[in-house]
Amino acid sequence: MTTTRTTCPYCGVGCGVLATPQPDGSVTIAGDPDHPANFGRLCSKGSALGETLSLDGRLLHPEINGARATWEDALDLVATTFQNTIAEHGPNSVAIYGSGQLLTEDYYVANKLMKGFIGSANIDTNSRLCMASSVAGHKRAFGSDTVPGNYEDLELADLIVLVGSNLGWCHPVLYQRIVAAKASRPDMRVVLIDPRRTVTADIADLHLPVQSDGDSALFVGLLAHLARNGVTAPDFVANHTSGAEAALLVAEDWPIARVATATGLSEHAITLFYDWFARTEKTVTVYSQGVNQSASGTDKVNAIINCHLLTGRIGRPGMGPFSVTGQPNAMGGREVGGLANMLAAHMDFTPEAIERVGRFWGSDNVAQSPGLKAVDLFAAMARGEIKAVWIMATNPVDSMPEADAVRAALAACPFVVVSDMSARTDTGVVAHVRLPAAGWGEKDGTVTNSERRISRQRPFLAAPGEARPDWWIVSQVAQRMGFGAAFAYTNPAEIFAEHTALSSFENDGARDFDLTGLLGADYESLAPTQWPIRNKPSARMFGTGAFYTPDGKARFVPVLPPPPFAPAPGSFILNTGRVRDHWHTMTRTGKAARLSAHYAEPFVEIHPQDAEALNIRRATLVRLNNNHGTAIVRALVTDRQRRGHVFVPMHWTDQFASHGRVDALVTAKVDPVSAQPALKMALVHAEPVAVR
């Protein structure tokens, strides 16, 4: 029996996995003790990976209009339809919508096809729903999309502030690392800032159940508190930052009393948090979707970063702002330029970068400006402006906000291609062409986790039926579109080598994403490695005080907190998120009975007093509705929830529970800087469903 060293396909922790196929066809799964993300640990999802490998529900053959087709016919149809659409309506009439589930090699080839050869930047990704606000906040502050710290900092910190992050369920192995560190260091403190009292509150010394979107006010108030009390790093601020005065001028208007009103927190609790932050040099602020998935998400990110800049707590062990990504390869997508507003290898659409990338790719048809971001992309489709779309490894009919409108837009789109390993997604149902993709355990490539660590995913199973890797499918279509030589890849190692070469191409250190040290590296034996890599991997960024802005200084961003969000009487603020044992729309975790045993059906968490007022009892079916849609879910009455707020998990689809699609209710309102949707801030009505 041969053991393969690979990486978990779920969250952005990026745990190393040892997979051993057994003679009976099963696969034994264990945590990789040598992987620096998890040191042998796995969570419930990771340890159940071997139970999700059945062929049940797999798409095994190409299909055209629901009938089995040959690869030749399917690829020809995709290529000719894209070509004809571009010829008739221009390059911006076509689009690709990708996924943080794609491997870096898949992502690289898709981005190269769309931006480099089709000449449109209409390629966006479900990572837009996950971490776009962190990307935008990093770029505003640092001049680059750079995560400063690493996981070890969580163990070295004396104070960990978790903002909008249910780490216990959504990044469980990171949570386990904090639990272990806290057990050995009783003086270590954890603060949780979250409207819900989630399982993560179990390790919190202080839980601040902040009003939805009150985070900006909390951190703007903290900035003022730090300045008022002289908790600053004057030399660092003077020599390595700009804009502190303007940010502090805005913050001065936010005394603790005003913060209390905006956040719904007591002045006592706010003061305690501020004092702990002020007194603790080694502080890491970890933030996730509660920060990012907001109409003011980018401002929230910068409000947090401002506090670390003012105190100089960045780039050193045990301190810094730290965005943790939701998906296994959201970071890899950022590296290749898989967002519509990024070109490639962390380069933007500047004239110099367009010329440089065009020269590298050997193309004179590189997209000249950003393309449509996720919400705008599907809105353009609804208006008839996108006439052919290719959706890879994601399920927007369930996961996009205003999901019913997205389903209608796809149903009206003249040509929809879906490449996926699953035959049973709600998006696949509306596709004209379905292409069977290889899945985890079958694919070969790399992913990058939340701490910029590149790890290999290696195959240990043969792809079933006619399933093929995504990079191969895209390359075949590109060749049929006439871009042959640029897409003549025969294996993912060639693609990774090109990706590495592009990162270092005319890069004198002015760009953060740099894999120079991996040029010529052996792909097969590649060990988990953090970028940037010029001479040696960099575990922490900005330790020298040099940033990637034109003047080399980090930028403070003045943040004006949004007005408190007060729902109209009878409305609830709908929060959405994950449960411990399911992943996205359950195409993989839905196969493991023990994972479904944790929560067997969709539910709504509602405060007991709100439930009583509506005559909703425990396990009552509840209808949630608003202008965008309806969902019917089981009541889970709990005081973990704030009054006036409800929470519904994001996982259930029409394939697993009728009327359980919560994203049908979610608003498509987006952050103006990052275009990330406010997935945690819809308004809904709730009522018990009468049972006859």
Interacting residues toward ligand SF4 by CB under 6 A: 8, 10-11, 13-15, 38, 42-43, 45-46, 171-173
Nearer to ligand SF4, 45 or 680 (CB): 45
Shortest reach from residue 172's CB to ligand SF4, in Å: 5
Nearer to ligand SF4, 47 or 365 (CB): 47
As a three-state string, the secondary structure of 520-572 is CCCCCCCCCEECCECCCECCCCCCCCCCCCCCCCEECCCCCCCCCCCCCCCCE
Nearer to ligand SF4, 299 or 451 (CB): 451
Q: What is the spatial distance between Cα 73 and Cα 196, in angstroms, rounded to a whole number?
A: 51
Q: Are 515 and 491 in contact (CB under 8 A)?
A: no
Cross-strand partners of 124:
97
Shortest reach from residue 576's CB to ligand SF4, in Å: 19
Nearer to ligand SF4, 14 or 371 (CB): 14
Which residue in 228, 238, 142 sits closest to 546, CA to CA? 142
Phi, psi torsion values for 335, nearest 5 degrees:
-60, -45
Which position has the token pair 């996009």? 400
**Per-residue CA distances from 479 to 360, 474, 485 (Å):** 18, 9, 8
**Per-residue CA distances from 57 to 65, 302, 425 (Å):** 18, 43, 9
Shortest reach from residue 28's CB to ligand SF4, in Å: 15
Nearer to ligand SF4, 115 or 453 (CB): 453
Phi, psi torsion values for 334, nearest 5 degrees:
-65, -40
Shortest reach from residue 526's CB to ligand SF4, in Å: 18
Shortest reach from residue 30's CB to ligand SF4, in Å: 11
Q: Which residue is nearest to ligand SF4 (CB)?
A: 46
- Enclosing H/E stretch for 398: helix 396-399
Shortest reach from residue 325's CB to ligand SF4, in Å: 11
Which residue in 273, 160, 183, 179 sits closest to 226, CA to CA? 273
Nearer to ligand SF4, 14 or 62 (CB): 14
Nearer to ligand SF4, 5 or 171 (CB): 171
Shortest reach from residue 371's CB to ligand SF4, in Å: 30
Which position has the token pair 């502190």? 244
Which residue in 12, 19, 49, 40 sits closest to 581, CA to CA? 49
Q: Which residues contact 120 (CB under 8 A, 6 or more apart)?
A: 91, 92, 94, 95, 114, 367, 371
Shortest reach from residue 462's CB to ligand SF4, in Å: 23
Provide the 3-class DSSP secondary structure of residue 17. strand
Nearer to ligand SF4, 450 or 641 (CB): 450
Shortest reach from residue 129's CB to ligand SF4, in Å: 18
Structure tokens at 565: 């969000």
Phi, psi torsion values for 455, nearest 5 degrees:
-130, 155
Provide the 3-class DSSP secondary structure of residue 680. coil
Pairing state of beta strands 16-21 and 4-7? antiparallel
Nearer to ligand SF4, 15 or 381 (CB): 15
**How far is residue 689 CA from its own chain's centroid?**
34
Shortest reach from residue 46's CB to ligand SF4, in Å: 2
Shortest reach from residue 374's CB to ligand SF4, in Å: 23
Nearer to ligand SF4, 263 or 457 (CB): 457
Nearer to ligand SF4, 172 or 469 (CB): 172
Which position has the token pair 């940010």? 247
